[in-house]
Amino acid sequence: MASKLIAETPFLKELFSEIKEENYGYCILRDYQHLPLHTDGHDIDILVAPGLELVVLNFISNIASRHNGVLISLYENETIIARFCGKDKTWWGVAIDLIPRLYYRTMVYYNEQHILKNISKHCGIHVASQQDGSMVSFLKECLSNGRDRKNYATTAKNNYLQTPKYYKHLFTNTFGKAGSNYLDAFFSSNIDDNLVGELCKRLRKCLFFTNCKRNGTLSTIFTRLTNYANCLPRVISPPGFVVCVLGTDGSGKSSIINLIQPVLEKALHSKIEYRHMRPNLLPSIAKLLRNSDTTNSKIVINPHNSNPSGPIGSILRLTYYSIDYVFGYWLKVYPSLIKRPCLWIFDRYYYDYLIDPYRGRISLPRWVIKTFGLLIPKPDLTLCLGADPAVIHKRKPELPLPEVKRQVQELKRFCQQTPKAIWIDTGCPIEKSVDQALEAITSAMAARYREK
């Protein structure tokens, strides 16, 4: 297990060594027990003095570059969500959130200056006190999600009961007297999920009314609206990313995807959204016709076993699946790209109808397929995997060698003519192919921020 976690150690050690020398006002809010050796699969929540968040972000980016790392995803609102990935002997990924204020929808729910004045130290790293860390974790979970998924409430309750007068004063400043009383009653009772949900509703109202009383109702509403407006850049330039992987059977698609996935999931602190061929908003035609649980399978034993449909059937197939690509993207894929740093990987894509139309049982002129393709949302990056056709055929002799040669040549031509398409040689050792794929993906994701 240690070998999986050691990759980010050089970056983390230098980061926390040098941040101490810069004398930034900061602390790690939680999940710091394994720092600076590794993150143990967590993101790093760094509370920074207000106004220093962009300075600290630039500082971290410079440290990452020394370890061949790049910023692959970023969005800024109440918190700066930054994701880094690179190769320093082995591939590493670290997710960092820079938090200038502890906000819930522009309203402060915990005093950040109080936390920074009462920091502790862990291996020379500034960390929030155990009391502050547990209470912030619970309040954030409660306000944001209305439930206690990680059992933060128990620890927060134990800390509250040790110094209730102290917390009552603290909470009165943010939630008002009514909110402070709700929290006191909550921590004095037996905690369950229903109570957390009810507390969430009450605290949200108290937080809003307290801010209205302190800052004025119009000012509070205007600030909220301004915050929503600040989210618009994410709609235009989302932090998420879409990659499609093309290649004939035996080109190594599954192996490459399986090996790049852990690195990118760690960097993004988010599970990869994997789809075969299309968004799958609509069920496959096979499932509709057979009235069974049959879906598009990742494993196709004989891709050319079924005869192509006739012209009318082919048009109906292409229309149906084009609807899935268009509406599946805008209703399913794109909202998640806006919401958080994430990565969608498509094993094959609409382009397969051009390169290997028989697999989709399509028998139409190429220009018809390309015309439909004008409506299909384009991925941010396309990886075209290929090798010597004889090598591919030896790996998976499901198609005749001449057909494999044709598909490889077609894919090469497609790669040369398509913007944002990269050729990955899978005839070399798998480690080298994985490096090429990760380098292509991280470079393309990082380019979004180098251009600004």
- DSSP-assigned letters across all residues of 276-323: ESS--SSPPHHHHHHTSS----S--S-TT-SPPP-HHHHHHHHHHHHH
Picking from 429, 431, 386, the residue whose alpha carbon sits closest to that of residue 250 is 386
Structure tokens at 318: 């292409």
Same domain for 281 and 389, yes or no, is: yes
**206 and 251 together in one domain:** no
Q: Residue with structure tokens 């790996």?
A: 395
Taking CA atoms, 424 is separated from 277, 296, 342, 412, in Å, by 19, 25, 22, 10
- One domain, residues 75 and 219: no
Tell me what the mean pLDDT of segment 328-354 comes to.
96
Q: Is residue 372 part of a domain?
A: yes
In a domain, 116, yes or no: no
User: Domain check: are 401 and 307 in the same one?
Assistant: yes
In a shared domain, residues 255 and 155? no
How would you write 370-391 as a 3-class SS string?
A: HHHHCCCCCCCEEEEEECCHHH
Q: DSSP letter for 333, please.
A: I
Q: Residue 300 pLDDT more than 80? A: no
Last residue of a domain, which of 230, 255, 285?
Answer: 230
Tell me whether residue 105 is in a domain.
no
| pLDDT number for residue 293 | 44
Please check whether residues 252 and 348 belong to one and the same domain: yes
Q: What is the DSSP string of 88-119?
A: ESEEEEEEEEEESSEEETTEEEE-HHHHHHT-
Note the pLDDT tens digit of each residue in 316-327: 999 999 999 999
Please tell me the predicted confidence (pLDDT) of residue 239: 94
**Residue-wise pLDDT tens digits, 369-391:** 999 999 999 999 999 999 999 99
Do 146 and 49 lie in a common domain?
Answer: no
Residues of the domain holding 51? 1-100
Instruction: Using the predicted structure, report yes or no on whether residue 232 has a pLDDT greater than 90.
Output: no
pLDDT, the chain, mean: 91
Q: Are residues 3 and 133 in the same domain?
A: no
pLDDT digits (tens, 9 = 90+) for 28-58: 999 999 999 999 999 999 999 999 999 999 9
The CATH number given to whatever domain includes residue 86 is: 3.30.460
Does the structure show a pLDDT above 80 at 295? no
Which of 236, 243, 234, 231 has its CA nearest to residue 343?
243
Same domain, yes or no: 185 and 249: no
| Domain count of the fold of the chain | 3
Q: What is the pTM of this model?
A: 0.91
Element (H, E) at 64: helix 53-66
Cα distance between residue 180 and residue 23, in whole Å: 35
Q: What is the pLDDT at residue 132?
A: 94
Is residue 107 domain-resident? no
In a shared domain, residues 391 and 318: yes
Output the CA torsion 108→113→119→124 (10° steps): 100
183 and 285 assigned to the same domain: no
Domain of 343, CATH number, reads 3.40.50.300
- Domain annotation covers residue 112: no
Could you tell me where the beta strands, DSSP code E, fall in 332-429?
343-347, 381-386, 421-425
92 and 164 both lie in a single domain:
no
